[in-house]
């Protein structure tokens, strides 16, 4: 789906080689993560309201109660996290900024990657290099392409020090198979790189047939001394309106020093959680039964919608890897290029504008994720398919057959109709 040549050399993810004219869809105004599309859990809203009257600020890195919840969260996932080796921050971007600053050097990321990864390094004046992903998944760099990129960057006088990858990917919605993940991390560690594992979507693997063969591991389980795991709670725990994230550092002296350095940066930049957000984060990370039950329902709903959207894309002549986690799919409409070109759609920014207008929902182009601007790729999210009102979204969550609800079927039919029109015109032009 994403053909690339590892021998083409390191590709800068900070604007180099871009074919999109200046000012058209700059990545610095890139899209947020796919939204849940669901009302806030009432218990979470109650916790936020109760904490709104607190007069004292939260300490940088998180208060003891929050850090205890963070340690419990990681430990339940097989990653021991002692005192001094976890921190919390007001969102994934401030946390990654602090990590990138603490580690220094050039940053390597898979192509495509989440829109919020590369800007942190660019802001610090550090270079970012994109590495092609394997054919079967996104989220991790192809190990051979990674080794070649590191070699060429160093030959050009660069200083690659860290690589960011994900165990459940935005934008592709895929989960790297354990052997593919292991090869990528092994290659990075072998070159002396520090690995930042973005585990934002680790709690959202789709249930049912589409996720039957999905096995999710953390690189911190494979190479515990060289990996820092981070998660943005907007992935599966809190709404984007309550930004919070946490990190778990290696159980080594180096891990403790890195945690201290990150805490220094969070303190210096004033990246402190608001008290109501900290209370909400503490509540959901302790994972009471109502929170886990709601998360399971939401994950199943988004999984069903992602599978339906995937079927619609394939039937309409597009390409997409099967979604395995999260609230999104990554669509390649290269087979429909002739029909799109007749509408003036020739690159990913054009495609973003076209589909966003026709579908009535955000459809960010692949260039926003560091992908080739000339390619016709977009990320489609499942949140807008749930409905346009809180009542419709709640009905989608509680329905036994959500795909049969009129408001859900209407949104899916929009996707089908737009692609069928393009596909039909493409077949006519081939005759």
Q: What is the pLDDT of residues 227-269, one digit of tens each?
A: 999 999 999 999 999 999 999 999 999 999 999 999 999 999 9
Structure tokens at 159: 């200083």
Instruction: Please tell me the predicted confidence (pLDDT) of residue 413.
Output: 94
Q: How confident is the model at residue 210 (pLDDT cuts 50, 70, 90)?
A: low
Cβ atoms of 279 and 62 closer than 8 Å: no
Q: How confident is the model at residue 430 (pLDDT cuts 50, 70, 90)?
A: low
Average pLDDT score over the chain: 90
Structure tokens at 65: 């109660």
Q: Mean of the pLDDT values across residues 356-371?
A: 94
For the cut 50, the answer to whether the pLDDT of residue 3 exceeds it is no
For the cut 50, the answer to whether the pLDDT of residue 307 exceeds it is yes
Q: Give the C-alpha separation, 18 to 311, whole Å.
A: 31
Instruction: Please tell me the predicted confidence (pLDDT) of residue 35.
Output: 85
CA distances from 105 to 83, 108, 292, 382 (A): 28, 10, 39, 36
Bigger pLDDT: 212 vs 135: 135
Instruction: Please tell me the predicted confidence (pLDDT) of residue 33.
Output: 84
For the cut 60, the answer to whether the pLDDT of residue 346 exceeds it is yes
Instruction: Please tell me the predicted confidence (pLDDT) of residue 218.
Output: 94
- Residue 145 gets the label, from left (phi > 0), alpha (psi -120 to 50) or beta, of alpha
User: What are 371-410's pLDDT values in tens digits?
Assistant: 999 999 999 999 999 999 999 999 999 999 999 999 999 9
Q: Give the C-alpha separation, 58 to 49, whole Å.
A: 16
Q: How confident is the model at residue 212 (pLDDT cuts 50, 70, 90)?
A: low
Instruction: Please tell me the predicted confidence (pLDDT) of residue 205.
Output: 95
Q: How confident is the model at residue 288 (pLDDT cuts 50, 70, 90)?
A: very high
Give the residues across from 130 on adjacent strands. Answer: 11, 109
Cβ atoms of 90 and 272 closer than 8 Å: yes
């Amino acid at each position: 789906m994403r053909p690339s040549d590892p021998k083409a050399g390191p590709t800068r993810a900070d604007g180099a080689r871009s074919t999109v004219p200046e000012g058209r869809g700059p990545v610095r105004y890139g899209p947020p993560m796919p939204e849940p599309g669901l009302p806030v859990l009432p218990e979470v809203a109650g916790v936020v309201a109760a904490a709104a009257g607190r007069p004292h600020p939260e300490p940088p890195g998180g208060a003891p109660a929050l850090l205890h919840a963070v340690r419990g969260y990681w430990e339940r996932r097989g990653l021991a996290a002692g005192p001094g080796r976890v921190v919390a921050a007001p969102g994934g971007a401030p946390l990654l900024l602090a990590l990138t600053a603490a580690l220094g050097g050039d940053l390597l990321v898979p192509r495509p990657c989440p829109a919020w990864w590369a800007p942190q390094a660019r802001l610090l004046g550090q270079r970012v290099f994109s590495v092609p992903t394997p054919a079967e998944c996104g989220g991790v760099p192809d190990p051979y392409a990674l080794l070649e990129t590191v070699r060429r960057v160093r030959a050009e006088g660069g200083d690659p020090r860290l690589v960011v990858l994900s165990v459940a990917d935005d934008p592709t919605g895929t989960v790297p198979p354990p052997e593919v993940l292991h090869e990528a991390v092994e290659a990075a560690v072998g070159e002396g790189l520090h690995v930042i594992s973005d585990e934002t979507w680790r709690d959202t693997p789709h249930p049912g047939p589409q996720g039957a063969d999905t096995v999710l591991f953390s690189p911190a389980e494979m190479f515990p001394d060289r990996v820092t795991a981070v998660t943005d709670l907007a992935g599966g725990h809190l709404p984007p309106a309550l930004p919070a994230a946490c990190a778990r550092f290696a159980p080594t002296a180096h891990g403790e020093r890195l945690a201290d350095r990150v805490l220094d940066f969070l303190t210096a930049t004033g990246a402190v959680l608001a008290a109501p957000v900290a209370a909400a984060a503490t509540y959901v990370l302790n994972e009471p039964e109502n929170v886990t039950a709601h998360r399971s329902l939401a994950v199943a709903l988004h999984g069903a919608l992602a599978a339906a959207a995937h079927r619609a894309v394939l039937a309409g002549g597009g390409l997409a890897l099967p979604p395995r986690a999260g609230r999104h799919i990554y669509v390649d409409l290269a087979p429909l290029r002739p029909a799109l070109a007749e509408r003036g759609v020739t690159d990913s920014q054009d495609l973003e504008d076209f589909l966003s207008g026709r579908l009535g929902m955000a459809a960010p182009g692949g260039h926003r994720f560091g992908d080739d601007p000339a390619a016709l790729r977009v990320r489609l999210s499942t949140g807008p398919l749930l409905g346009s009102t809180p009542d419709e979204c709640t009905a989608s969550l509680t329905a036994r057959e959500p795909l049969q609800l009129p408001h859900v079927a209407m949104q899916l039919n929009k996707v089908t109709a737009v692609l069928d029109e393009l596909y039909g015109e493409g077949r006519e032009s081939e005759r």
